[in-house]
Amino acid sequence: MKTIKLTLLMFLFACVSFASVSNSEKEALIALYNSTNGSEWNTTWDLDKSIDTWHGVVILDSKVVSLNLSFNNLVGTIPADIGELTNLQVLNLSFNTLNGDLPESITNMKELYSLQLFLNQFEGEIPNWIGNITSLEALALYSNKFTGEIPESITNLTNLKSLELGSNYLTGSIPFNINNLKKLKKLSLLDNQLEGQIPESIVELTNLEELVLSSNKLSGSLPFELSQLSSLKLVMVSDNQLNNDYVTVVGNTLNKMSLFLEDTEVLASNKE
């Protein structure tokens, strides 16, 4: 009898927990399903079953806190309704065929720390409102079709540890106030159409571990002070219009120093 009562109690608790997931969050997930051809996803959702059985959805304390639908054949656009997932901390829709603009309603996600939208077909400019998601620690928008300049507002994201915007069609220069991102460990802007000089302010990113700027139209020289950044292990700046044919450096302090030498013959000898 006690076992029956306990089982019934657990069942009722589960029902209450499910019921407490807000209807607005459920409707937001269904809107995403409908706008991205959900019935054809690699792993689809049974909308008649409880949300906690839906692939990629993580619920904590009756709130949707993570949504990971990467590599799942999502085709279409992200609906504005997604902004109803106000408790979301992780949003990963990478490796799909999503297009169009990013909905500004994403700024409603005040606890979002990871936004992974790489390897899709998003278009237009990276929106200025991206700088309002100040909780972000990781922003990955690479391998899309973004155009225009890197918005200055992105330097408001002072909690960022990883910024990856490579393989788009970005123009203009690297924002001078990039030094606002004091926690940044990875900066990847490769394979765009960025111009101008690498800003001197970049040397203030003392936590930087990876700097990847290859395949742009950057000019001038690398700030020498970069060689003094003890955490910097990867430097890639080839295929630009810099005043030296800088080599790629991976982890070697001696080679990192040689990267900044003006004498290309010495540089070549260090490569050997």
Q: Which domains does the chain have, with CATH numbers?
A: 21-112 (3.80.10.10), 141-272 (3.80.10.10)
Residue 73 banded pLDDT, cuts 50, 70, 90: very high
The closest alpha carbon to 73, from 102, 29, 39, belongs to 39
pLDDT of res. 34 = 98
Q: Is the pLDDT of residue 7 over 90?
A: no
pLDDT of res. 9 = 33
Q: What is the DSSP letter of 102?
A: P
Instruction: Please give the model's pTM, rounded to 2 decimal places.
Output: 0.87
The Cβ-side half-sphere exposure at 199, using a 13 Å CA radius, reads 14
The closest alpha carbon to 187, from 214, 227, 225, 222, belongs to 214
What are the Cα distances from residue 157, in Å, to 39, 88, 129, 138, 236? 36, 17, 11, 10, 24
Q: Is the pLDDT of residue 232 over 50?
A: yes
Q: Is the pLDDT of residue 129 over 60?
A: yes
Distance CA 44, CA 39 (A): 6
154 or 256, greater pLDDT? 154
Residue 228 banded pLDDT, cuts 50, 70, 90: confident
pLDDT of res. 14 = 41
What length does the chain have? 272
